[in-house]
Structure 1
């Protein structure tokens, strides 16, 4: 169209044609800008509606927590944290939007929001980011990490949060390399597109709150009516039988609720006040040999009225046991270096007439002993019981002796591989623990080694990174795996030497 010799009239026609095409492109661009603006308005309206619904849900949970603190108190504590983190992030985005369009007189004139220079200058500096751009990334990552910490890494919302608030690199097309999140989503975009994007993130925050609070409430209510809360209760016609007797009775379902407290209890014709965690705690004397009744009424308040729930059972008092009972309170082994509780008793025989002996065994109370294993792989406890008729019963039980298992290094009470930001690791104490171990041991870390990729391993005395370790950590990058190993730990007030503490790894999130 521009080649060859053309008349002045043809040149004018061609020029008008180009202007016409440019005008069409310009009009299409402004229509797109307006479409973004209208989408932003819809998102704003939706956020207002969701905020109101969330407020009602929070109020509902607060009411339930005040009425039934044991059931709903922990859920409210989680919800309050999620609400706090969400409010902070939502407000930050609102301030960012206000700042971005502050110089535009008509906030609804989306056709003038076609420039890219404000956000390009605010987020980017050369090939890197400004402090504001890095803050934006940190806000997204911090919100995601904080909410996951509240809910737990095993929560079903972890994949949702990782998806909604991802800052991973973006692959623009199949043939191109991945582009950093901030550049792919905000560099060179019209202002109105970024405005709508920020409002969409606010919508994600509100939807996340709504999903979590609904799940917390729904999960607790579902748990209350779940059949898993019911126990099969065996009701025998009597609780003692002679050889050859028929064992008769019935099995019924009973729901256990530790938070359901009666208004009053009558037991065997008298007022009874000993109840705890939803149960009437029986504390009676057996009396003479024979069959005894336990009967009474539990009263509960319902709609301002007392509802009586009667109960009745029987038990038998026997005169003479024929075998002693020896049991380990923790498990069928005893651990070297620890005080292992042992119970030794014989039904019908006073504690003063029972004698127990073994290497390392000492008595601490009626029927209660502590075992401190010595050498070897097993220990035998011998028991002599003197019966009321003057005869004696002698028996023994053998327990295996085991060493305390290897401990595991921890960061924020998490084992294995832990994901966290670099700034958090710098001041987070390194700990040690024994997951699923039956004894609660107070382990204290005395030293450890830290290895940053590309750096020499550094020895740290104490529980927190020293200056040299922090210097090495400063050179690490997102995705690097920091190895904490050769951890030394001791048991507080115990001379037993922990043989091994397994390492813990930290994957840096920024």
Structure 2
């Protein structure tokens, strides 16, 4: 273009044109090289992010393999085989990239941390390292051996389960090393097609992209192992029939009410658990199966609700799952029921304390009735004040949770308070006392071996001293006439204190039976 019979002006124009074309080519080349560099950076970032996710999935598989070996032990072992093969090949590719940078004497920009993409235009680095004529060098053969070893290791894992066939075919396409057809329509070896004659930055980017294929393959296989176990775990053969009763306690004769569902326990860690208004410490409450252990006071006898909420994270958002259940509290069996069949007795004239309850029914749903029966303070506490007659029957009715009624009754014999025993100076029966002690002594009455500690008040009595007329005394102390008669008694005389009248303190209306007399032998 610049030669021939052209004028000097035309030669100069043609030369400038050539320089312009060369400059355009140089600019285009730099843009292409920069594009490869930008692509390589994106692949590198993606590789780091995918690697982190892969580590998390592998850890999850290992944990599941320990917690549920029957479901996850084999998939976890296969995942570890894939990890070993992938890490080995990934690290090998990293050494190849390092050798390429070293051979080209490329240095990372200290300010940007990036390689000099626009300067990485050499095409002879891998050409000389991997290719010689129509053959591969030892380095080239080593590279292909590493590719094939990685492929064989992964395919050996996938060949162990027919369910992995689809993923195996996808893997084979991704890492196919079959001959490729070039722009001239000729088939050439895979390594030549992808790396021979390319600028260093293009080859470097292709190696990073190959590393990305490794990381993506890892992710796909880990998901496959998790997905396969999930599909297996959700098959109906692995589900259980779970009985959900309307309440956790029933009474004899009552109809069972509840539901039967098909379900499976899931090991999904929650982020929060609230039960009965209190937040539960997940580190202590959640076991290896994902179940939450509840621990709270059950409250009083009767039916109670359990309310709370599980909180999980799904698709980056909190997913609350309500907890709704109930239970029934029955009295703790802390004592045996022992009764003497003939000893169901209440005493007339006494406030007989009674405890009346119905097993499993709260006090406010129990109603007791009977002649002389009244409610006292306290749960299940009553007082029986029997009237006339020989027997009294107490009827008890309970309202159960379903609204139905249950009833029972008990008959008690009514007995009078036994006959009190007279005393003088605190002694009963035949006593020996000096005359002085008799004169100043107090006449009383006691109920010996009675179940109630009743205070008895003596109102009057009679005293007979041998040779002296009978003296009537009011109260508990000797009057002047009684003292005068006692003063005339001689040693050995027997003084009789009889016809003792007494009443229960606080219940003067009840007529006690006659009080037994007391006799005194004068000692001096």
The structure number with the bigger radius of gyration is 2
